A and B are shown apart, each in its own frame.
Chain A
């Protein structure tokens, strides 16, 4: 019996060694290979939802408050500065960027900040109010020559899919969906290519737009560089695709473009 066991042990020793060698080899390979794989991490910056606040551009609030002011104080136009940008809330607060007439100095002012004795008191969509010595001074924003609302207005007459009313442009959701659901239709009507800066994507250039397409009607032109959509900077194809995939859940569309080296914004309401 003992001899049998000895024989079995004797015969199995080489196999045990072979298995051990295989194990050592596998362990050596394991220590050399990576311990973790790659997981997709979503960029948090691109997931911010774009919202347009009622009252942010509400004319009702603007006119009411400006009327009140007109009763109390007389407004004088302020010609010393150019108003470049306004960020206003529905409580007429916020901040602005102003430039002196010579155009060589810019200032960023928030509500109740002072500039040469003028105190910024109220901010509206298209103008702001300064106060000095119990007198109100109005400063209007200069509209850019390149903001061509007439592109949409022309459309208003010929196509009900895009409706222009006062300052807002409404786009019919079904009309937009006819493009969203058919990617071929998108590529038939628009051609875009990435713009790279220091090796990174810095927007998408519009190389071709079909005149009868929604893109043309929305005001996009050949040569425009789309920088951001709904405040999501387009720095990768994924960013662009994310906007495309989320368009069904979007109520407002804000497209920031670069045209003739000037930044412009196109705003739409999806109805």
Chain B
């Protein structure tokens, strides 16, 4: 019993040390390079590396060379058993405001080993509230939107692409 406890303590210290020394900025560079292959560029950001997290502030998002949005803060935290990505205050470029009302206040993606198969999505903003799920094994993203009155009145074209069920708009995407 004492041996097992010792083993777990060693494992815990190892994971903790690995998380602290983990090259977070380098991983972020890799993500940027992978996104760039799909014509998405995150540019002009300020990086702030913390013990267990990496904060990205004031980044401009470009798609195919077009500046589509500005993100005030992105925070990535990982404790190995629990990972969280939080994006705060997304302002879309004027030309894209006709798609979704801007700003989007918050988008949160959480993944825990207690639910290995799924990652949870939560978002809110002028568009309303959005809850979603990423089924990692079946590669399906399901979204459930509680649309705000503004979204219902001015963005009905987008809502028409979703399925209405019990007052909520449902959308499913396979990748």
Contacts and interface: CB of A to CB of B under 8 A. Distances in A.
A10 to B, nearest CB: 14
Interface in A1-45: 14-15, 18-19, 21-23, 25-27, 29-30, 33-40, 43
28 contacts: A14-B10, A15-B13, A18-B14, A22-B17, A22-B21, A25-B18, A25-B21, A27-B21, A29-B22, A29-B23, A30-B23, A33-B23, A33-B27, A33-B30, A34-B29, A35-B26, A35-B29, A40-B41, A40-B44, A40-B60, A40-B62, A183-B95, A184-B157, A236-B64, A237-B65, A237-B66, A241-B65, A241-B66
Given A18-B13, A236-B65, 16 more contacts: A19-B14, A23-B17, A25-B18, A33-B27, A34-B29, A36-B29, A37-B28, A37-B32, A38-B35, A39-B41, A40-B62, A43-B65, A237-B64, A237-B66, A238-B66, A244-B95
Contacts of A237: 64-66
B11 to A, nearest CB: 9
- The dominant DSSP class at the B interface is helix
**Which has the most chain B C-beta neighbours within 10 Å: A15, A18, A19, A38?**
A38
Interface residues of A, number: 31
Nearest to A185: B98
A116 interface: no
A182 interface: yes
A182 B98 contact: yes
A40 B43 contact: yes
A245 interface: yes
Contacts of A244: 95
Contact of A23 (B21, B28, B98): B21
Nearest to A17: B10
Contacts of B28: 37
Contact of B26 (A19, A30, A39): A30
A14 B33 CA distance: 38
**Pairs of residues from A and B, 4 with the lowest C-beta to C-beta distance, nearest first:** A238-B65, A26-B21, A33-B26, A22-B17
- The dominant DSSP class at the A interface is helix
Nearest to A182: B98
B164 interface: no
A14 B13 CA distance: 10
A244 B93 CA distance: 12
A220 to B, nearest CB: 20
B40 to A, nearest CB: 9
Nearest to B14: A18
Contact of B17 (A14, A18, A30, A38): A18
A19 B94 CA distance: 50
**Which has the most chain A C-beta neighbours within 10 Å: B18, B33, B42, B60?**
B18
A36 B140 CA distance: 32
Nearest to B9: A15
A27 to B, nearest CB: 8
B116 interface: no
Nearest to A241: B66
Given A39-B43, A241-B95, A244-B95, A19 B13 contact: yes
